[in-house]
Structure 1
Amino acid sequence: MRRIARSRNLLLGSALALFVWGGTEAAPALEKAQPSPAAAPADSGFRQFLQTAWPLAQAKGVRRATFDAAFEGMEPDPAAPSAASPQAEFDKPLKSYLTDAASPQRISRGGDVLTKWKADLAQIEERFGVPGEIVVAAYGVETDFGRAMGGKDIVRSLASLAYRRQDRALFLDELIAALVILDKGDVDRAKMRGSWAGAMGGPQFMPSAYLKYALSYDGSGPPDIWDRPQDILASIAHFLRQSGWRPGLPWGMEVVLPAGFDFSSLHRGFPAFAALGVVSADGRPLPAAGEATLFLPSGAAGPAFLLSENYWVLKAYNNSDSYALSLALLGNRILGRPGLQGRWPAGEIAMSRAQKSEIQTLLRTAGFYRGDIDGRFGQASRDAIHAFQVSARIDPADGFGSPDVLKKLKEQAAAPPGR
């Protein structure tokens, strides 16, 4: 599918440059791990490892004095993990994740931010085409509007991760990018703080993303994504626009499906969905043009959403439907639109990572799925489930991975050939 490939390209390009591991509710695996200090004692090879980074830093134009000063007296941070841990965006039920990410307190604070910086956000939207409520919502989900930016020394955090996770070149690359920032004099070392995973400031940019996307709102100096809200908001908008945001197109909307809806395809143009009787839950008209994807996070019995191309851009910030949908719905609430209209099904059984992996494996064996076996249901998995449901004449073919789908896949796999 074209839109899926495009989203994946965003992740490999923008999101790997950004790799926002900071956030409060939306932090990926390493950000959530909290090992005890005793689990990671200082290693005598740390200093030697740091010196191997010098040729890389030198190649990027970093001065030796900057390099030496950055690592003087440094020991590895014992809190930095050597492995990943469970990821809330994929393991926590979307309903619970959404409740936390778009809490009444966050909606209220987001409204205050939207009002306080209304004029600046209007100029930012005019420049980048990203609506103010989306920018503010990203700020809220990432750092609770600056309340949770992290207090770790970014250079030490990245040096520790680069040393302990030498299988992940990302950390060493980000460490070099942090040294480039210091060498340019964009920010004092004492101010360059954030999560221990390396994400910095209000947008929770990794150092490479700071170099690529961070902006000074008025051009008066280096971008200050720690203390200057206008720079934070402009930088978030710049990142989203560079990741492919289409001005004038909503991220999508909650919708109501008519009785007897045709589930033969989850992908149609907005006008085609409208012709089938799909209407928005809050009374707004569906976009007059553009491609859309029907997303049923709890199956046909739960809330329904039509997602535009801009939804996949939000996933460039964090490749999780829980994250992207929570950010989008938080933006709606900040703007004053009504909350979720659909009801979550009572007694829904949450699928474990192992069960999801089993579904993916069975779908792959049956020829419906060609993605990774990772126990994380994204659009590729939903499309494969939908294709299986259509093939097996399961109604509704809603693309929802459930215990019933797993059961039917097992039955099909165990059936004698030809049946």
Structure 2
Amino acid sequence: MISPRPVLALLLLLASIGGAAAADADFARCLAGLRAQAANAGVPGAAFDRFTDGLAPDASVLTLLDAQPEFTTPIWDYLAALVDARRVAQGREMLAHHAAVLARVEAAYGVDRHTVVAVWGVESDYGQVSGNRPLLVSLATLSCAGRRQAFFRGEFLALVKLLHAGDLSPDGLTGSWAGAFGHTQFMPGTYARIAVDFDGDGRRDLVKSVPDALASTANYLQRAGWKRGERWGFEVRVPKALDASLAGRKNARTLSDWRARGVTRIDGSPLPQSEARAALLLPAGRAGPAWLALRNYSAIYSYNAAESYALAIALLSDRLRGDPPQVAAWPTDDPGLGRDERERLQRLLIARGHDIGEADGMIGTRTRRAIVAEQERLRMTPADGRAGKRILDALEREARRADGPQAR
């Protein structure tokens, strides 16, 4: 008698092969449709075939579509990671190194250099982390499966047109899972509309040309409504009696109105009597920090429509200007960690025998598992694998106690 287990395994294998074959056929049909649309947009079939030769879908990008960190990460973690001491220091180095280009960018577009460099820092860590996913693969997959297919088809076709025009080379072209790429992470459609050739080499190259990337970013913000010589906003103090429903980016009121309601600057000084309009931001509710956002904040927000993202750029631009960090604390007993602190945490985990790879400040699956193990050992709740200040402090206290007798 034949055991049912091998038969079942064979049936499952055949089913998976059949499913994969059907998925491949669906992808091929989708690409054929995109080929026809590209031809209508001026990209010859031979060029389209050259760019898509051997292209296969990557299903992993579909799982990322609903897990964007701007919407899933606590804001104090998100900002701690993006507006940390290292990014501020590196940003100041970039301001000095590219001072001549940034002066030309300011003169041409009216956007201050600190905001432009802050976008660069948040988007790609000044060109160091611009995405490692093959761009054509990601956009083709998102064009043919999942939600928002119409949007991603437009982006895929825009990318193919850029490749055909010679602005970009398909060789080694990578970006984020969603198709953003280059120093300041433009989507292809935005690239086609907004990118400029600022270094004068005849090509709009936001991948290899820092001047093109910085000028294109300023061009984007100018077109989004940036007003020359104005700041994005400032931190404020809000009276306890203020109705929190008045907060929100779309609920702008005059500074005179906010002043009459008892809102002051963070140092307690009064707001100006002004008809300039500002929106009250309470990203963590009444218990957290508050800012008044002027109209330039809306230009930053348009770059990537997420409040935490826009605030990261705004606050990083303030630090690059030389302004101090925010004054009000976040409503948590476990603040997020910057990269230097995350690396310290990882070194402590490695010292305790956890195999997490190198201490690079990137919190991946192995680091989170190690944190869970240490949280459980220390009876910390919740044991959620979060890289926060509580677990860092606990492990540092242990390390100091362990070193104490040896030091004596």
When the two structures are superposed, what TM-score results if normalisation uses the length of structure 2?
A: 0.69
Residue 258 of structure 2 is aligned to residue 273 of structure 1:
yes
Residue 331 of structure 2 is aligned to residue 331 of structure 1:
no
C-alpha separation in 2, matches of 1:166 and 1:300: 35
Residue 136 of structure 2 is aligned to residue 155 of structure 1:
yes
C-alpha separation in 1, matches of 2:130 and 2:236: 35
SS in 1 for 2:36: helix
C-alpha separation in 2, matches of 1:95 and 1:218: 38
User: One-letter code of the match for 1:345?
Assistant: P
- State the partner residue of 1:102: 83
Which of 263, 285, 294 pairs up with 1:299? 285
Change over 3 Å in CA distance of 1:260–1:81 after alignment to 2 = closer
C-alpha separation in 2, matches of 1:282 and 1:120: 35
Change over 3 Å in CA distance of 1:180–1:111 after alignment to 2 = same
- State the partner residue of 2:302: 316
Which of 67, 79, 88 pairs up with 2:69? 88
- State the partner residue of 1:24: none
Deviation at 1:289?
Answer: 4.3
Residue 29 of structure 2 is aligned to residue 44 of structure 1:
no
Residues 239-280 of structure 1, C-alpha deviation per residue, up to 9 Å, x if partnerless?
Answer: 111122222221111023468668795542123334555443
C-alpha separation in 2, matches of 1:129 and 1:285: 29
- Whether the 8 Å CA contact 2:64–2:177 is kept in 1: the answer is no
Deviation at 1:60?
Answer: 0.9
- Whether the 8 Å CA contact 1:66–1:182 is kept in 2: the answer is no
Tell which deviates more after alignment, 69-78 or 207-216. Answer: 69-78
Deviation at 1:282?
Answer: 6.4
Deviation at 1:325?
Answer: 0.9
Residues 88-111 of structure 1, C-alpha deviation per residue, up to 9 Å, x if partnerless?
Answer: 212322122111110111111111
Change over 3 Å in CA distance of 1:260–1:80 after alignment to 2 = closer
C-alpha separation in 2, matches of 1:170 and 1:264: 33
- Whether the 8 Å CA contact 1:136–1:331 is kept in 2: the answer is yes
Relative contact order (alpha carbons < 8 A, sep ≥ 6): 1 or 2 greater?
1
C-alpha separation in 1, matches of 2:196 and 2:269: 34
- State the partner residue of 1:230: 211
Unaligned runs of 5+ in 1: 1-37, 349-419
SS in 2 for 1:75: coil
Residue 96 of structure 2 is aligned to residue 115 of structure 1:
yes
Deviation at 1:79?
Answer: 3.4
Matches within 5 A, 1:11-26: none
Larger Rg over CA atoms? 2
Deviation at 1:129?
Answer: 1.6
Matches within 5 A, 1:116-155: 116-155=97-136
Residues 324-351 of structure 1, C-alpha deviation per residue, up to 9 Å, x if partnerless?
Answer: 1111001111111100111223569xxx
Matches within 5 A, 1:10-409: 43-45=23-25, 46-81=27-62, 84-165=65-146, 168-257=149-238, 265-266=246-247, 267-274=252-259, 278-281=263-266, 288-346=274-332
SS in 2 for 1:254: strand
- Whether the 8 Å CA contact 1:122–1:132 is kept in 2: the answer is yes
Change over 3 Å in CA distance of 1:234–1:286 after alignment to 2 = farther
User: One-letter code of the match for 1:310?
Assistant: N
Tell which deviates more after alignment, 193-202 or 76-85. Answer: 76-85
- Whether the 8 Å CA contact 1:279–1:285 is kept in 2: the answer is yes
Residues 192-221 of structure 1, C-alpha deviation per residue, up to 9 Å, x if partnerless?
Answer: 321232111011111111101111113331
Change over 3 Å in CA distance of 1:190–1:292 after alignment to 2 = same
User: One-letter code of the match for 1:292?
Assistant: A
SS in 2 for 1:292: strand
SS in 2 for 1:253: strand
- State the partner residue of 1:22: none
Change over 3 Å in CA distance of 1:48–1:243 after alignment to 2 = same
C-alpha separation in 2, matches of 1:125 and 1:150: 28
Deviation at 1:147?
Answer: 0.9
Change over 3 Å in CA distance of 1:284–1:337 after alignment to 2 = farther
Deviation at 1:303?
Answer: 1.6
**Identity, % of aligned positions:** 37
C-alpha separation in 1, matches of 2:33 and 2:176: 24
Aligned CA RMSD, in angstroms, stands at 2.8
Residues 347-405 of structure 1, C-alpha deviation per residue, up to 9 Å, x if partnerless?
Answer: 69xxxxxxxxxxxxxxxxxxxxxxxxxxxxxxxxxxxxxxxxxxxxxxxxxxxxxxxxx
Deviation at 1:128?
Answer: 1.4
